[in-house]
Amino acid sequence: MWWNAEGEGAVMKIQPRTMVIMAALVVLLGLAMAIGWSDWQGSQRAGWKDGDWTSVGSSEAIQKVLDQETRANTNIPGQILYVRAPSLKLDQAWVAGPDLRTDDDVRVASNTKTFVAAMALMLVEEGTLKLDAPIGPYVSPKVRDMLRANDYGLETITLRQLLNHTSGIPDYFGVGLFAFLALVPNAYGLSAHWTPETEIWFAVTFGQKVEPGKTFAYSDTNYLIAADMIKVATKAPNIGVAARGLLQWPKLGADETYWEALEPEPKGTRRTEQFRGGIRDSAVDVSYDQYGGGGLVMSMDDLGLATRAVVLGQVFKDPARTIKLMQTAGPDPIAGGYALGIEPITLAGETCWGHGGFWGTAAFHCPRLDITVARSVGQANARFDMSKDSSPLAHLIARAQAVERAGR
């Protein structure tokens, strides 16, 4: 402290080092507030209340329950539901909520994994990829170099392990720095643009690896590497082009489907809103979920019909053999039967196969009864559960079983 020239008042003299420390503290406080606000926003609007789906025997009944359920869940922007159940004479989509159309498209996030796994298995059938061979010869040079530089076993990790999440390669979203850089700006309407190579780099450089082949650990990185292998095998410029060539979406009944940012949006399609808590993710770049772990944009009838085609093996040359491979679970019981890009749920004795997606999507097909359900609720925090006895799928199964019994 010192006196000024006039001898009036005490003035604090701040040293440069102190100023730097204070500035750093202000920056850290600002970052903490930004992270806190983002986390709070992203955690809002959580929860789910099932409707009473016991009367799902007609189109009108489904619409009534869907409307009631949507009104009960004020945290969602609306619902789109597709059902195909020939024994119940149902094959249509319904919507509930303002300004929604039955053919609206949404980001289906991890539902994409089903189709990445299907493409990989198609290439296994052709002999272009090997399911249980080391991945080293099949990945791109960039990915190979990253894995080798971080001591990942190019001689031990297999495609099967990538697809059933037992490769030991961590999820890039498990890296705190990546999650911060990718998600925090979204709360302010901002976003960075990511590449698959950058995402893989974060995972293998900073993530914690485990021994491959034993432990189930859900990881989008696995599917980025699988997509990389598909690109190399097909010589496609990106996974979207590879998917269109291999799966031929229109043949599956998925004529509105496209890979976001990697393909042109089909004419006449419209993508509707999706939220992560209070954050409108549909308005920002989500390239952090775009290259194999997610990335597809689909209507619910597209998602349902394409999932059905995969589960029935219609995309494979040897359906019986390859769908058996696809439905083979990994060695870790904690996975709940998760197989190669699909997982089972059992309701009233019926086994159905499918997958869910981050922003509130899910699609399952029940082969014996030929029932398919796909739905979108537009909210990541509305964690509805298709495997519950109170779900629409469970009640559709019960109704179809009753019809079956009556016809005997």
Q: Are residues 114 and 29 in the same domain?
A: no
Distance CA 64, CA 402 (A): 22
What is the per-residue pLDDT for 94? 98
Q: How confident is the model at residue 31 (pLDDT cuts 50, 70, 90)?
A: low
What is the per-residue pLDDT for 17? 72
Residue with tokens 């509105």: 256
Q: What is the DSSP string of 324-376?
A: HHHT---S-GGGTT--SS-EEEEETTEEEEEEEETTTEEEEEETTTTEEEEEE
- Residues near 159 by Cβ (< 8 Å), separated by ≥ 6? 120, 124, 129, 130, 131, 132, 133, 135, 138, 226, 229
Q: How confident is the model at residue 21 (pLDDT cuts 50, 70, 90)?
A: confident
Contact 377, 384 (CB under 8 A): yes
What is the per-residue pLDDT for 26? 66
Looking at per-residue pLDDT, the higher value among 39 and 234 belongs to 234
Which residues form the domain of 264?
Answer: 54-406
Q: Is the per-residue pLDDT at 7 higher than 50?
A: no
Q: Are residues 90 and 32 in the same domain?
A: no
Q: Are residues 34 and 59 in the same domain?
A: no
Rounded to the nearest integer, the mean pLDDT of the chain is 93
Q: Are residues 152 and 16 in the same domain?
A: no
- Give the amino acid at 256: E
Q: Which of 330, 327, 341 is nearest to 215 (CA)?
A: 330
Q: Are residues 273 and 393 in the same domain?
A: yes
Distance CA 328, CA 110 (A): 19
Report pLDDT digits (tens) over 181-198: 999 889 888 999 999 999
What is the per-residue pLDDT for 14? 67
Report pLDDT digits (tens) over 142-151: 999 999 999 9
Residue with tokens 């006039």: 6
Distance CA 353, CA 343 (A): 6
Q: 155: domain CATH number?
A: 3.40.710.10
Q: Is the per-residue pLDDT at 32 higher than 90?
A: no
Helix (H, G, I), strand (E, B) or coil at 318: coil
Which residues, listed in sequence order, are joined to residue 347 by a DSSP beta bridge? Answer: 350
Residue 145 lies in a domain: yes
Q: Which of 345, 270, 296 is nearest to 116 (CA)?
A: 296
What is the per-residue pLDDT for 49? 96
Q: Are residues 22 and 58 in the same domain?
A: no
**Burial class of 93 by CB neighbour count within 10 A (0 to 12, 13 to 18, 19+):** buried
Two tokens, residue 12? 């604090």
Q: Are residues 110 and 229 in the same domain?
A: yes
Residue with tokens 């696995």: 222
CA angle 392/396/397 to nearest 5° reads: 120
Q: Is the per-residue pLDDT at 63 higher than 50?
A: yes
Residue 222 lies in a domain: yes
- Residues near 37 by Cβ (< 8 Å), separated by ≥ 6? 187
Q: Is the per-residue pLDDT at 310 higher than 70?
A: yes
Q: How many domains does the chain have?
A: 2
Report pLDDT digits (tens) over 91-129: 999 999 999 999 999 999 999 999 999 999 999 999 999
Report pLDDT digits (tens) over 71-81: 999 999 999 99
- Residues near 393 by Cβ (< 8 Å), separated by ≥ 6? 347, 352, 364, 366, 371, 373, 386
Q: Is the pTM of this model over 0.85?
A: yes
Q: Are residues 23 and 77 in the same domain?
A: no
Q: Are residues 325 and 202 in the same domain?
A: yes
Q: How confident is the model at residue 33 (pLDDT cuts 50, 70, 90)?
A: low
User: Angle between the 196-206 and 176-183 helix axes, to the nearest 10 degrees?
Assistant: 150
Residue 49 lies in a domain: no
Strands (E), 278-327: 296-299
Q: Which of 270, 296, 274, 147 is nearest to 212 (CA)?
A: 147
- Give the amino acid at 260: E
Q: Are residues 238 and 212 in the same domain?
A: yes
Q: How confident is the model at residue 1 (pLDDT cuts 50, 70, 90)?
A: very low
Residue 47 lies in a domain: no
From 3-12, 124-133, 292-301, the region with the lowest mean pLDDT: 3-12
Contact 330, 315 (CB under 8 A): no
Q: Are strands 296-299 and 258-259 parallel, antiparallel or unpaired?
A: antiparallel
Which residues, listed in sequence order, are joined to residue 105 by a DSSP beta bridge? Answer: 271, 299
Q: Are residues 14 and 97 in the same domain?
A: no
Contact 362, 66 (CB under 8 A): no
Q: What percent of the chain has pLDDT over 70?
A: 91
Q: Are residues 115 and 191 in the same domain?
A: yes
Residue 48 lies in a domain: no
